[in-house]
Homo-oligomer: A and B are copies of this chain.
Protein backbone atom coordinates (compact mmCIF):
# COMPACT_ATOMS: atom_id res chain seq x y z
CA UNK A 1 0.00 0.00 0.00
CA UNK A 2 1.39 3.34 -1.04
CA UNK A 3 1.72 6.43 1.12
CA UNK A 4 -0.41 9.12 -0.51
CA UNK A 5 1.48 12.39 -0.72
CA UNK A 6 0.18 15.89 -1.41
CA UNK A 7 2.46 18.83 -2.21
CA UNK A 8 1.29 22.26 -1.12
CA UNK A 9 3.13 24.99 -3.05
CA UNK A 10 4.72 24.36 -6.40
CA UNK A 11 7.92 26.37 -6.70
CA UNK A 12 11.50 25.04 -6.75
CA UNK A 13 11.03 23.13 -3.50
CA UNK A 14 7.68 21.65 -4.54
CA UNK A 15 9.25 20.39 -7.76
CA UNK A 16 12.14 18.94 -5.73
CA UNK A 17 9.65 17.00 -3.60
CA UNK A 18 7.83 15.82 -6.72
CA UNK A 19 11.05 14.34 -8.13
CA UNK A 20 11.85 12.66 -4.83
CA UNK A 21 8.38 11.13 -4.42
CA UNK A 22 8.64 9.72 -7.93
CA UNK A 23 11.77 7.82 -6.89
CA UNK A 24 9.97 6.12 -3.98
CA UNK A 25 8.18 2.87 -4.74
CA UNK A 26 6.16 3.06 -1.53
CA UNK A 27 4.66 6.49 -2.30
CA UNK A 28 2.23 7.96 -4.77
CA UNK A 29 1.74 11.62 -5.54
CA UNK A 30 -1.96 12.49 -5.22
CA UNK A 31 -1.49 15.99 -6.52
CA UNK A 32 0.02 19.42 -6.28
CA UNK A 33 -1.97 22.12 -4.47
CA UNK A 34 -1.43 25.72 -5.50
CA UNK A 35 -2.78 29.20 -4.83
CA UNK A 36 -2.49 29.89 -8.56
CA UNK A 37 -5.05 28.88 -11.15
CA UNK A 38 -4.33 25.14 -11.48
CA UNK A 39 -5.17 25.31 -15.17
CA UNK A 40 -1.93 27.24 -15.60
CA UNK A 41 0.23 24.81 -13.63
CA UNK A 42 1.79 21.93 -15.52
CA UNK A 43 3.70 19.47 -13.35
CA UNK A 44 6.97 17.68 -14.19
CA UNK A 45 5.48 14.25 -13.61
CA UNK A 46 2.00 14.90 -14.95
CA UNK A 47 0.56 14.85 -11.43
CA UNK A 48 -2.73 16.67 -11.17
CA UNK A 49 -2.72 20.28 -10.00
CA UNK A 50 -5.53 21.38 -7.67
CA UNK A 51 -6.43 24.72 -6.22
CA UNK A 52 -5.41 24.83 -2.57
CA UNK A 53 -9.05 25.20 -1.52
CA UNK A 54 -9.69 21.64 -2.74
CA UNK A 55 -7.64 20.28 0.16
CA UNK A 56 -10.65 20.67 2.41
CA UNK A 57 -12.49 18.00 0.43
CA UNK A 58 -9.51 15.63 0.24
CA UNK A 59 -8.82 14.89 3.89
CA UNK A 60 -9.08 11.15 3.29
CA UNK A 61 -7.09 11.19 0.06
CA UNK A 62 -3.78 12.51 1.38
CA UNK A 63 -1.72 10.69 4.04
CA UNK A 64 0.98 13.33 4.34
CA UNK A 65 0.92 16.92 3.07
CA UNK A 66 4.38 18.31 2.34
CA UNK A 67 4.15 22.08 2.71
CA UNK A 68 6.57 23.88 0.40
CA UNK A 69 6.05 27.51 1.37
CA UNK A 70 8.26 30.34 2.59
CA UNK A 71 9.24 30.69 6.24
CA UNK A 72 8.52 34.42 6.42
CA UNK A 73 4.76 34.42 5.94
CA UNK A 74 3.50 31.11 4.45
CA UNK A 75 4.56 28.44 6.92
CA UNK A 76 3.67 30.17 10.23
CA UNK A 77 0.10 30.25 8.99
CA UNK A 78 -0.13 27.16 6.75
CA UNK A 79 1.52 24.46 8.85
CA UNK A 80 -0.72 24.84 11.94
CA UNK A 81 -3.76 25.29 9.71
CA UNK A 82 -3.25 22.07 7.75
CA UNK A 83 -1.99 20.10 10.79
CA UNK A 84 -5.59 20.23 11.94
CA UNK A 85 -6.54 17.93 9.05
CA UNK A 86 -3.41 16.20 7.74
CA UNK A 87 -0.06 14.80 8.77
CA UNK A 88 2.16 17.66 7.64
CA UNK A 89 5.83 18.46 7.20
CA UNK A 90 7.61 21.74 6.48
CA UNK A 91 11.08 23.27 6.15
CA UNK A 92 10.55 26.26 8.47
CA UNK A 93 13.96 27.90 8.91
CA UNK A 94 13.49 31.18 10.78
CA UNK A 95 15.57 30.08 13.71
CA UNK A 96 14.37 32.57 16.32
CA UNK A 97 10.73 31.66 15.73
CA UNK A 98 11.07 27.88 15.92
CA UNK A 99 9.76 27.63 19.53
CA UNK A 100 6.57 29.53 18.66
CA UNK A 101 6.07 27.63 15.41
CA UNK A 102 6.62 24.31 17.19
CA UNK A 103 4.04 25.23 19.85
CA UNK A 104 1.46 26.29 17.25
CA UNK A 105 1.89 23.14 15.18
CA UNK A 106 1.93 20.96 18.29
CA UNK A 107 -1.39 22.38 19.47
CA UNK A 108 -3.13 21.82 16.15
CA UNK A 109 -1.60 18.42 15.41
CA UNK A 110 -2.19 17.04 18.91
CA UNK A 111 -5.83 18.10 18.85
CA UNK A 112 -6.29 16.43 15.47
CA UNK A 113 -4.32 13.29 16.28
CA UNK A 114 -1.91 14.07 13.44
CA UNK A 115 1.88 14.38 13.15
CA UNK A 116 3.45 17.74 12.23
CA UNK A 117 7.18 17.66 11.47
CA UNK A 118 8.74 21.14 11.30
CA UNK A 119 12.10 22.53 10.22
CA UNK A 120 13.13 19.63 8.03
CA UNK A 121 15.74 19.82 5.26
CA UNK A 122 19.50 20.18 5.60
CA UNK A 123 19.86 23.27 7.80
CA UNK A 124 17.71 23.01 9.82
CA UNK A 125 17.61 19.25 9.33
CA UNK A 126 20.61 17.06 8.57
CA UNK A 127 23.03 19.69 9.94
CA UNK A 128 20.98 19.93 13.14
CA UNK A 129 21.16 16.16 13.58
CA UNK A 130 24.91 16.29 13.32
CA UNK A 131 25.16 19.10 15.87
CA UNK A 132 23.02 17.05 18.27
CA UNK A 133 24.74 13.69 17.76
CA UNK A 134 28.18 15.26 18.17
CA UNK A 135 27.30 17.30 21.27
CA UNK A 136 25.66 14.24 22.85
CA UNK A 137 28.69 12.01 22.25
CA UNK A 138 31.34 14.62 23.13
CA UNK A 139 29.64 17.05 25.52
CA UNK A 140 31.20 20.49 25.89
CA UNK A 141 32.88 20.63 22.48
CA UNK A 142 32.40 23.31 19.87
CA UNK A 143 30.22 23.11 16.74
CA UNK A 144 31.04 25.20 13.68
CA UNK A 145 28.66 25.49 10.76
CA UNK A 146 29.92 26.64 7.36
CA UNK A 147 27.62 27.22 4.39
CA UNK A 148 28.60 27.04 0.74
CA UNK A 149 29.92 27.32 -1.72
CA UNK A 150 26.34 27.89 -2.77
CA UNK A 151 23.62 30.25 -3.89
CA UNK A 152 21.77 32.17 -1.20
CA UNK A 153 18.36 33.02 -2.62
CA UNK A 154 17.66 35.62 0.08
CA UNK A 155 20.87 37.50 -0.68
CA UNK A 156 20.31 37.22 -4.44
CA UNK A 157 16.83 38.71 -3.98
CA UNK A 158 18.23 41.56 -1.88
CA UNK A 159 20.57 42.56 -4.71
CA UNK A 160 17.77 42.35 -7.26
CA UNK A 161 15.85 44.99 -5.33
CA UNK A 162 18.62 47.56 -5.94
CA UNK A 163 17.82 50.20 -8.54
CA UNK A 164 19.45 49.43 -11.90
CA UNK A 165 19.88 45.68 -11.26
CA UNK A 166 18.25 43.30 -13.75
CA UNK A 167 19.38 40.01 -12.21
CA UNK A 168 21.78 38.79 -9.53
CA UNK A 169 23.19 35.67 -8.01
CA UNK A 170 24.97 35.62 -4.65
CA UNK A 171 27.32 32.82 -3.62
CA UNK A 172 28.19 32.25 0.00
CA UNK A 173 31.76 30.92 0.23
CA UNK A 174 33.44 29.54 3.36
CA UNK A 175 36.92 30.96 4.01
CA UNK A 176 39.38 28.08 3.38
CA UNK A 177 41.76 29.15 6.18
CA UNK A 178 38.89 29.17 8.69
CA UNK A 179 37.78 25.70 7.58
CA UNK A 180 41.31 24.37 7.95
CA UNK A 181 41.74 25.86 11.42
CA UNK A 182 38.49 24.29 12.57
CA UNK A 183 39.31 20.92 10.99
CA UNK A 184 42.65 20.86 12.77
CA UNK A 185 40.83 20.93 16.13
CA UNK A 186 42.24 24.34 17.19
CA UNK A 187 38.78 25.60 18.27
CA UNK A 188 39.37 29.13 16.96
CA UNK A 189 37.10 32.06 17.78
CA UNK A 190 35.91 33.29 14.38
CA UNK A 191 34.06 36.47 13.48
CA UNK A 192 31.34 36.52 10.82
CA UNK A 193 33.83 38.07 8.40
CA UNK A 194 36.43 35.39 9.08
CA UNK A 195 34.05 32.49 8.34
CA UNK A 196 32.44 33.37 5.00
CA UNK A 197 32.89 35.65 2.01
CA UNK A 198 30.14 36.69 -0.39
CA UNK A 199 30.57 36.72 -4.16
CA UNK A 200 27.93 38.46 -6.28
CA UNK A 201 27.25 38.23 -10.02
CA UNK A 202 25.13 41.15 -11.18
CA UNK A 203 23.48 42.05 -14.48
CA UNK A 204 23.04 45.84 -14.57
CA UNK A 205 20.73 47.87 -16.78
CA UNK A 206 22.39 49.55 -19.72
CA UNK A 207 23.91 52.79 -18.50
CA UNK A 208 23.40 52.03 -14.83
CA UNK A 209 25.93 53.43 -12.35
CA UNK A 210 27.87 50.29 -11.49
CA UNK A 211 29.96 52.02 -8.87
CA UNK A 212 26.81 53.01 -6.95
CA UNK A 213 25.32 49.51 -7.29
CA UNK A 214 28.49 47.91 -5.98
CA UNK A 215 28.58 50.32 -3.04
CA UNK A 216 24.92 49.66 -2.22
CA UNK A 217 25.62 45.94 -2.17
CA UNK A 218 28.77 45.84 -0.06
CA UNK A 219 27.39 48.27 2.55
CA UNK A 220 23.93 46.69 2.87
CA UNK A 221 23.29 46.07 6.59
CA UNK A 222 22.65 42.46 7.78
CA UNK A 223 23.15 41.06 4.29
CA UNK A 224 26.64 42.22 3.28
CA UNK A 225 28.15 44.88 5.57
CA UNK A 226 29.70 42.33 7.93
CA UNK A 227 31.34 40.32 5.14
CA UNK A 228 34.09 40.74 2.57
CA UNK A 229 31.99 40.97 -0.56
CA UNK A 230 33.12 40.86 -4.18
CA UNK A 231 30.88 42.08 -7.01
CA UNK A 232 31.24 41.03 -10.66
CA UNK A 233 29.14 42.62 -13.39
CA UNK A 234 28.25 40.14 -16.11
CA UNK A 235 25.93 39.94 -19.12
CA UNK A 236 22.47 38.37 -19.03
CA UNK A 237 23.74 35.64 -21.37
CA UNK A 238 26.55 34.77 -18.99
CA UNK A 239 24.11 34.75 -16.06
CA UNK A 240 21.89 32.26 -17.86
CA UNK A 241 24.76 30.08 -19.04
CA UNK A 242 26.83 29.98 -15.86
CA UNK A 243 24.52 30.72 -12.93
CA UNK A 244 21.16 29.08 -13.57
CA UNK A 245 21.64 26.25 -11.06
CA UNK A 246 21.00 26.39 -7.33
CA UNK A 247 23.97 24.49 -5.91
CA UNK A 248 24.67 24.65 -2.19
CA UNK A 249 26.20 22.72 0.66
CA UNK A 250 28.44 23.24 3.62
CA UNK A 251 29.84 21.54 6.68
CA UNK A 252 29.14 21.04 10.35
CA UNK A 253 32.48 20.52 12.07
CA UNK A 254 32.48 19.53 15.72
CA UNK A 255 35.61 19.54 17.78
CA UNK A 256 35.50 17.91 21.21
CA UNK A 257 37.54 16.04 23.79
CA UNK A 258 37.52 12.93 25.89
CA UNK A 259 39.19 12.91 29.28
CA UNK A 260 40.76 16.02 30.72
CA UNK A 261 44.09 17.58 31.59
CA UNK A 262 47.27 16.14 30.11
CA UNK A 263 45.62 12.91 29.00
CA UNK A 264 42.76 14.65 27.11
CA UNK A 265 42.27 13.43 23.55
CA UNK A 266 40.90 15.51 20.67
CA UNK A 267 38.30 14.33 18.20
CA UNK A 268 36.96 16.07 15.12
CA UNK A 269 33.64 15.10 13.52
CA UNK A 270 32.75 16.57 10.14
CA UNK A 271 29.54 16.28 8.15
CA UNK A 272 29.55 17.93 4.77
CA UNK A 273 27.23 18.28 1.81
CA UNK A 274 28.01 19.14 -1.81
CA UNK A 275 24.65 19.61 -3.50
CA UNK A 276 24.09 20.31 -7.17
CA UNK A 277 20.54 21.42 -6.36
CA UNK A 278 19.58 22.82 -2.98
CA UNK A 279 15.78 22.56 -3.51
CA UNK A 280 15.98 19.01 -4.91
CA UNK A 281 18.06 17.77 -1.98
CA UNK A 282 15.82 19.57 0.51
CA UNK A 283 12.80 18.03 -1.20
CA UNK A 284 14.39 14.59 -0.85
CA UNK A 285 14.89 15.08 2.89
CA UNK A 286 11.26 16.21 3.29
CA UNK A 287 10.10 13.15 1.38
CA UNK A 288 12.04 10.70 3.58
CA UNK A 289 10.61 12.37 6.68
CA UNK A 290 7.11 12.24 5.18
CA UNK A 291 7.48 8.45 5.33
CA UNK A 292 8.35 8.73 9.03
CA UNK A 293 5.37 11.05 9.67
CA UNK A 294 3.03 8.52 8.14
CA UNK A 295 4.47 5.60 10.10
CA UNK A 296 4.49 7.46 13.43
CA UNK A 297 0.87 8.45 12.91
CA UNK A 298 -0.09 4.88 11.96
CA UNK A 299 1.54 3.76 15.22
CA UNK A 300 -0.72 6.14 17.16
CA UNK A 301 1.66 9.05 17.72
CA UNK A 302 0.67 12.69 17.23
CA UNK A 303 1.87 16.27 17.82
CA UNK A 304 4.76 18.39 16.57
CA UNK A 305 8.09 16.69 15.91
CA UNK A 306 11.50 17.64 14.60
CA UNK A 307 14.29 15.51 13.13
CA UNK A 308 15.49 15.05 16.73
CA UNK A 309 12.39 13.06 17.66
CA UNK A 310 12.46 10.59 14.80
CA UNK A 311 14.24 7.23 14.90
CA UNK A 312 16.37 6.90 11.73
CA UNK A 313 14.85 3.51 10.80
CA UNK A 314 11.51 5.26 10.18
CA UNK A 315 13.05 7.05 7.17
CA UNK A 316 13.87 3.93 5.23
CA UNK A 317 11.47 1.90 3.12
CA UNK A 318 13.49 -1.19 4.08
CA UNK A 319 12.66 -3.48 7.00
CA UNK A 320 14.59 -3.59 10.26
CA UNK A 321 16.15 -6.91 9.23
CA UNK A 322 17.28 -5.45 5.92
CA UNK A 323 18.85 -2.30 7.32
CA UNK A 324 20.64 -4.24 10.07
CA UNK A 325 22.00 -6.69 7.49
CA UNK A 326 23.10 -4.11 4.92
CA UNK A 327 23.83 -0.80 6.64
CA UNK A 328 24.78 -1.51 10.26
Contacts and interface: CB of A to CB of B under 8 A. Distances in A.
B321 A99 contact: yes
A129 B95 CA distance: 26
Contact of A328 (B119, B275, B288): B119
Contacts of A271: 130, 269-271
Interface stretch (A162-170, A173-181, A223-231, A307-315): A307-315
A90 interface: no
Given A119-B328, A138-B281, A185-B274, 5 more contacts: A98-B324, A135-B327, A136-B288, A269-B271, A269-B272
Interface string A290-328: 010000000000000011111111011100110111011
Contact of A308 (B126, B143, B269, B328): B328
A139 B23 contact: yes
A260 to B, nearest CB: 8
B95 A328 contact: yes
Nearest to A256: B284
A198 interface: no
A137 interface: yes
A276 B183 CA distance: 13
A309 B313 contact: yes
A5 to B, nearest CB: 15
Chain A contact-residue range equals 35 or more
Copies in the complex: 2
A136 B280 contact: no
A187 interface: no
Contact of A265 (B270, B280, B288, B310): B280
A193 interface: no
B98 A325 contact: yes
A32 to B, nearest CB: 16
A258 interface: yes
Given A98-B324, A137-B284, A267-B273, A312 B316 contact: no
A16 B265 CA distance: 11
A14 interface: no
A73 to B, nearest CB: 20
Interface in A230-287: 258-260, 265-277, 280-281, 283-285
Given A258-B280, A265-B280, A24 B139 contact: yes
A285 B328 contact: no
A327 B132 contact: yes
A124 interface: yes
Nearest to A321: B99
B328 A128 contact: yes
